[in-house]
Amino acid sequence: MLGKLVVLRGGGDIATGIAHRLRNCGFNVVILEMNEPTVIRRRVAFAQAVFEGEVIVEDVKAKRIENTTEVHTVLGAKCIPVMVDPEGKTIGDLKPDVVVDATLAKVNKGTIKEMAPLVIGVGPGFTAGLDVHVVVESQRGHDLGKVIWNGRAHRNTGIPGEIMGISEERIVRATGDGKIRNLKPIGTRVEKGEIIAHIGELPVEGRIDGVLRGMIENGSTVKDGMKIGDIDPRGIRSYCFTISDKARSIAGGVLEAILMKK
């Protein structure tokens, strides 16, 4: 399978962990993203190339392209092409060996087995053997990264994973509808109650002490209650700029599934 083409639907931090590992293992990787990605951990997300043109995550570069004719040029430059195509319309033209849906939308938004010889769904919303060939578990815990050839991943609990015993409180949520104006860069130390952004005239406060690990792109349109940021209570700034343990575990499951496919 080495040297084969893998199309990743989604370029967030989990998808980036997958893309990073596959690229380093010799696969050609193309990422398909939304026009305005709502990624939180932007500094470790290849999706950010949609906004910035180019991004580098742990020494691997991703570059935005406008159409499929640019794919081979960018791959030849040892970069990961990122293209705006949320519906996956270009998959038919690309003819990949593998499609990985790593949008983590919790529901299947159109990925089917017929897209490629091997189609992998990450997390809940997929059924192995029905709409995809295989599922990789995304829920933290004993089964994280498990390859599932029959059945589904664990149901979405709606509860964020714990870090140092802190779950929901570490999540930054929108305080209203509107466009966000960020006040603190990712990697900044923040305190409980500190204002880290505004949505219109409404302040957004952190709920715990820690390091701002992620924040949605400045100027994004958000909805009340939407997840827009993440504060890490461990307070280790370098974690804001490196691939997470969760992303690496899921990436290992995806790599296992690809290599197991005959």
> Residues 120, 257: contact at Cβ < 8 Å?
yes
What percent of the chain shows pLDDT beyond 70? Answer: 99
Output the CA torsion sign for 210, 14, 173, 35.
positive
What is the model's pLDDT at position 262? 55
Domains of the chain, with CATH numbers?
5-156+245-260 (3.40.50), 168-233 (2.40.50.100)
Q: pLDDT digits over 140-184, tens only?
A: 999 999 999 999 999 887 778 888 889 999 999 999 999 999 999
249: part of which helix (H) or strand (E)?
helix 245-260
What are the tokens at 38? Answer: 């709502």
Shortest CA distance to 120 belongs to which of 131, 134, 107?
Answer: 134
The three-state (H, E, C) secondary structure of 76-120, written as one string: HCCCEEEEECCCCCCHHHHCCCEEEECCCCCCCCCCCHHHCCEEE
Q: pLDDT digits over 58-79, tens only?
A: 999 999 999 999 999 999 999 9
Beta-carbon count within 10 A of 107 CB: 9
For 32, list phi and psi in degrees, rounded to 5.
-110, 130
Record the pTM. 0.95
What are the tokens at 74? Answer: 């960018």
Strand, helix or coil at 19? helix
Q: pLDDT digits over 19-58, tens only?
A: 999 999 999 999 999 999 999 999 999 999 999 999 999 9
User: CB neighbours of 76 closer than 8 A, spacing ≥ 6?
Assistant: none
User: Which stretch of 2-16, 118-132, 156-170, 206-220 has the lowest confidence by average pLDDT?
Assistant: 156-170
